[in-house]
Amino acid sequence: MPAHPMPSAPPDPVLEQAIAWLVQLRAQPSGVAPDPALQARIDAWRAADGRHETVWSELMAAEAQFQRLVALPVAPAQWQQPLAALNGSRSRRQARRRWLGGVALGLGSVALAGFAARQAGLFDRVAGQRYATGTGEQRRVVLGDGTQLALNTATDVRLQFDAQQRLIALEQGEIFIETGRDALSPLHRPLLVQTAQARLQALGTRFAVRQQEGVTRLSVLEGRVAVDPGQGARTVIVPGETVDIDAHGQLRRQAIPAANMDPTAWLGGTLVARDMRLGDVVAEMARYRHGWLQCEDSVASLKVSGVFQLRDGDAALESLAQALPVRIEQRTRFWVRVAAQHSQ
């Protein structure tokens, strides 16, 4: 039965860049200290992304394994002529360059093949990195590119940072982003946020994104954010604007000062309402509580303005009862209703 060739894997840009650095590094004369400028560029590239450092370490291990094979006292017959060419420092450098060039073309030792296979699995793990918060929890992380990411209650994000892009997939909940400059990456990769309704590209900015049922809400505080709803139209949102993007790619804008709720007050642990429906205020508070919290229809249209502490939900509800003609029914800590003051 004829053998079928294995399909070749697509080139890995991180591995190719690591090999390019190694070729430059090993091309220098033996016994001479590495060029400081070259070493600084390599160190910056390694520090720019966790996967860069991992790939570099694996490649150095593969090279060391190859050098150990070359040092064996008895070489296979097919190696006799190449090994004879290693006499003399200049020939050794030329042989090393040829070997590194072969690595760049996908040729070489079994050690490199095993290395490439390990990297394929490693990339899957890095690409699937996740951050999440539970109900009532908030979390702040600084990503490898310097981006600051804050997660609000009940939020789930998945990261895919590679050589071409920095992608944050918002699967549920709400995030706030202050973009890093990605200065150590030679490509200055775009920072993208993917939601169910659109792909957003940060253009050097601070912004909040919330995944609601059937709608993505984007609020831009500084810089600009480009919105691509996948309908062929790209819209740039400027500071001070909030935009809702629906499943059909339609955008509805409003100015942040005119919005009923401050979109980033949660970063300070508060809910800031401006002439907001009581039903909407209670629904917002419910995002931070375990159990069931509802507002009776008869009072849901009452207007509310104020600042409420999200970390003390009971006190926030009590302040509503003091300011409005409502009462708080609490059968258990997990069953609470805001009802009309005189309803039964």
Strand 191-194 and strand 166-178: the pairing is parallel
Residue 54: which pLDDT band, with cuts at 50, 70 and 90? Answer: confident
**Buried b / exposed e across 275-297, counting CB within 10 Å, b at 16+?**
ebbbbbbbebbbbbbeeebbbbe
Task: State pLDDT tens for residues 138-196.
Answer: 999 998 888 999 999 999 999 998 888 899 999 999 999 999 877 666 667 899 999 99
Cα separations in angstroms, 254 against 71, 214, 229, 231, 244: 70, 18, 18, 21, 9
* Residues 219 and 193: beta-carbon distance below 8 Å: no
N-terminal to C-terminal alpha carbon distance within the chain: 83
Task: State pLDDT tens for residues 197-248.
Answer: 999 999 988 999 999 999 999 999 999 999 998 876 789 999 999 999 998 8
* Residues 208 and 263: beta-carbon distance below 8 Å: yes
Task: State pLDDT tens for residues 267-296.
Answer: 999 999 999 999 999 999 999 999 999 999
What pLDDT is stored for residue 131 in this prediction? 94
Residue 108: which pLDDT band, with cuts at 50, 70 and 90? Answer: very low
Domains of the chain: 13-125 (no CATH), 128-258 (2.60.120.1440), 269-340 (3.55.50.30)
* Residues 131 and 141: beta-carbon distance below 8 Å: yes
Radius of gyration (C-alpha) of the chain in whole angstroms: 29
Strand 199-202 and strand 303-309: the pairing is unpaired
Longest Cα–Cα distance in the chain: 100
Tokens encoding 106: 């996908």
CB count within 10 Å of CB 95 equals 16
Q: Which residue has the higher pLDDT, 125 or 299?
A: 299
Our CA dihedral for 279, 277, 243, 210, rounded to 10 degrees, sits at -30
Task: State pLDDT tens for residues 301-314.
Answer: 999 999 999 999 99
- Phi and psi of 40, rounded to 5°? -65, -40
Mean pLDDT of all residues belonging to the chain: 79
Tokens encoding 197: 């309704």
For residue 188, which amino acid is it? H
On the question of pLDDT at 343 being above 70, the answer is no
Percentage of the residues of the chain whose pLDDT score is greater than 90: 48
What pLDDT is stored for residue 258 in this prediction? 67
Hunting for tokens 């490649």 — which residue is that? Answer: 59
**Buried b / exposed e across 164-173, counting CB within 10 Å, b at 16+?**
eebbbbbeeb
Crossing angle of helices 50-70 and 36-48, in 10° steps, is: 120
What pLDDT is stored for residue 65 in this prediction? 56
